[in-house]
A and B are shown apart, each in its own frame.
Chain A
Amino acid sequence: MRWYAAQRAALAIIQLAVLSVLVFVLTALLPGDAADMRFTETLTPDQVARMREQLGLDQPALERFTHWFGNVLTGDLGTSLISGGPVLDIVKASVGATLVLTLATLAVVVPLAVALGIVMGTRENGRLDRTITSVTLALSAIPDFVIAVFLVALFSLKLGWLPATWVGGSLLASPALLILPVAVLLGRTVCLLSRQVRAGTINALNAEYVVQARRLGVPRRRLLLRHVLPNAAVPGVQELARTGDTLLGGVLVVEAIFAIPGFATALVDGVETRDVPVVQGLTLVLAVAALVINLGADLVCNRLVPRTELLR
């Protein structure tokens, strides 16, 4: 176990280092730099040139990178080229909304998907199974921006029931702000997850050990909760960790449509304004999160079904 943890940690560190280089190279490949972004027909080229100098953007890329990397090792994510504030502040400011959004989504998705998956799995090919399958399949086939556009048109603009944007509202004052964004993010994730849970349930139900437990007189309810569920959850958990990335893509669309000042928006903004330290910082945080989530998923799976191999 300790060897495993060490291996995992070493791999993570290598991944993060390589990732930083990659992100730097990627952003360096973009045309223009942060100083150019300030060129909005109010600052003259001469002023822009002086700014570039002040921001240190006239230095060679390698030097900028090593400088940044050195700082990161001491825990300093640097300062934004655009706002001049610490990157950490930008990360902190943007992470909240996205976190709330994803947690709220997960809080709905996970129980819903598990429940649906188990219902479907225990009634394999029954009418209920087929109905739920069809509905979730259809839901997952609608791109999130299409869902969002129509939900907003219907529930906010036509009926006026729900707020269509986070602008001018506060989450504390009106939690209803969460409803539409979560509804948009829900569809695909629930479908993906519930299908995994369904497959896991069917597999577990057919497994020798469940059949045997039933033969030894374990009642049905207990069988489902204690014997089927943990095994059925494993593919679901793995899927959840895997969908993190796709979920983030959806989050961007949702953030854009509902004007949520979140992580994905900050990332794309950073790229658009060539704010390299911000992009670096956000990516780093994101990568750490992805690594932690994957590790967590592996550990959870290993907890649920100890035989799951840790290192593939």
Chain B
Amino acid sequence: MRALRARTPLAVSALLVLIPLLVALLGPLANFSPKPGLPYESAGLLGTDGLGRDVFSLLLEGGRTALGMALGAVVIAYLVGGMIGLVAASTRHRWVDEALIRPLDVLLPLPSLLVISVVAVGWRASPPAITLAVAMVNVPTVARLVRAAALDAASGPVVEALRMQRESWVGIHLGYVGRAVLGPVAADIGTRITLAVFLVASVNFLGLGLSPTAPDWAVSVSRNREGLLLQPWAVIAPALLLVSFTLGFNLLADRLVHRTRRLVEAKR
């Protein structure tokens, strides 16, 4: 308990995640658009960017893609990969398991870089396409993770005991297997979201993703970095929001990993 309290307070981690999240969610609603000025001026709250746009108003607009694409990708990866993993783990037919998992094994050495650059080059500036690509890159690992976690639980004597008690399928899979999978999955989601944010941001940073005038945070960092010495806020502010989100998520994930670990230890 002492160790837990000694870690970063929950409020801090939550705040780190919430600030960018709220900016991303509510920012576009604010509809704040001051008159544009000249490139890299210090007028306004945070100055202007390379196109003379107000950096603060851009920040409000740019979170939707920066976080939305990453979160969307993780959600899709979990819907698809999680489903595959759960079905593969719970099936009684070995061939179903094999048919679902083996193709993913084949895909594993496919560099995600290639997939994403192909998608990014082919369907330039299309957020859904890039979201989907990032999601697809994550599917094999998610599927394997969920399968492994579920398999562990589903093949153990607890499930047999529950079957002996004639618990319903739903009762077994949601009540027990699902909860058993939840621990590893929750820990994984934390790091996966960070990774997805990185991936999306890197794609945008490299100019493979969104249009260069998009208000997206990563695009802002990329496009305004040559003006870093003229008007640092155009780079620092979006970078800070990105880092705040990933750092908060890392801290939350760390906390979760700790809790599950302590649970496991308690079991022994």
Q: Which residues of A contact B206 (CB under 8 A)?
A: 252-253, 256, 268
Q: Which of A80-88, A138-146, A172-180 contacts B (4 or more CB under 8 A)?
A: A138-146
The answer to whether the Cβ of B164 comes within 8 Å of any Cβ in the partner chain is no
Query: Of residues 147 to 201 in B, which have CB atoms within 8 Å of A's CB atoms?
Result: 194-195, 197-199, 201
Docked pose: A60 CA to B57 CA in angstroms:
50
Q: Which residues of A contact B109 (CB under 8 A)?
A: 15, 19, 286-287, 290-291, 294
Question: Interface residues, chain A, CB within 8 Å of chain B?
Answer: 11, 14-15, 18-19, 22-23, 26-27, 29-31, 125, 130, 133-134, 137-138, 140-146, 149-150, 153, 157, 199, 206, 245-246, 248-250, 252-253, 256, 264, 267-268, 271-272, 279, 283, 286-287, 290-291, 294
The answer to whether the Cβ of B98 comes within 8 Å of any Cβ in the partner chain is no
Q: Of A130, A141, A268, which contacts B250 at CB under 8 A?
A: A141
Give the interface residue-count category, chain B.
35 or more
Docked pose: A272 CA to B235 CA in angstroms:
27
Contact A283 B122 (CB under 8 A): no
Q: How far is the CB of A127 from chain B (nearest CB, A)?
A: 9
B interface, over-half SS:
helix
Docked pose: A287 CA to B112 CA in angstroms:
11
Q: A11-B105, A125-B3, A146-B242 are contacts. A249–B118 as well, Cβ < 8 Å?
A: no
- Most chain B beta carbons < 10 A, residue from A23, A141, A199, A283: A141
Q: Which residues of A contact B201 (CB under 8 A)?
A: 143, 145
Q: How far is the CB of A271 from chain B (nearest CB, A)?
A: 5
Q: Which residues of B contact A145 (CB under 8 A)?
A: 201-202, 205, 218, 221-222
Residue of B nearest to A16 (CB): B109
Q: Which residues of A contact B218 (CB under 8 A)?
A: 143, 145
Q: A125-B3, A267-B113, A272-B121 are contacts. A143–B246 as well, Cβ < 8 Å?
A: yes
Q: Which residues of A contact B239 (CB under 8 A)?
A: 143, 146, 149-150
Q: How far is the CB of A155 from chain B (nearest CB, A)?
A: 13
Q: Which residues of B contact A252 (CB under 8 A)?
A: 113, 202, 206
Contact A22 B228 (CB under 8 A): no
Contact B110 A264 (CB under 8 A): no
Q: A146-B243, A246-B195 are contacts. A137–B225 as well, Cβ < 8 Å?
A: no
Residue of A nearest to B240 (CB): A146
Docked pose: A153 CA to B118 CA in angstroms:
31
Question: Interface residues, chain B, CB within 8 Å of chain A?
Answer: 3, 6-8, 105-115, 117-118, 121-122, 194-195, 197-199, 201-202, 205-206, 208, 218, 221-222, 225, 228-229, 235, 239, 242-243, 246-247, 249-251, 254, 261, 265
Contact B7 A143 (CB under 8 A): no
Q: Of B111, B113, B251, which contacts A137 at CB under 8 A?
A: B251
Contact A137 B106 (CB under 8 A): no
Docked pose: A142 CA to B243 CA in angstroms:
5
Q: Which residues of B contact A26 (CB under 8 A)?
A: 114-115, 118
Residue of B nearest to A22 (CB): B110
Q: A29-B122, A287-B109 are contacts. A157–B229 as well, Cβ < 8 Å?
A: yes
Docked pose: A51 CA to B255 CA in angstroms:
60
Q: How far is the CB of B198 from chain A (nearest CB, A)?
A: 5
Q: Which residues of B contact A23 (CB under 8 A)?
A: 110, 114
Contact A141 B246 (CB under 8 A): yes
Docked pose: A252 CA to B202 CA in angstroms:
9
Contact A268 B247 (CB under 8 A): no
Contact B121 A146 (CB under 8 A): no
Docked pose: A141 CA to B198 CA in angstroms:
9
Q: How far is the CB of B228 from chain A (nearest CB, A)?
A: 5
Contact A133 B6 (CB under 8 A): no
Q: Of A133, A246, A272, which contacts B254 at CB under 8 A?
A: A133
Q: Which residues of A contact B6 (CB under 8 A)?
A: 125, 130
Q: Which residues of A contact B250 (CB under 8 A)?
A: 137-138, 140-141
- Most chain B beta carbons < 10 A, residue from A133, A138, A143, A199: A143
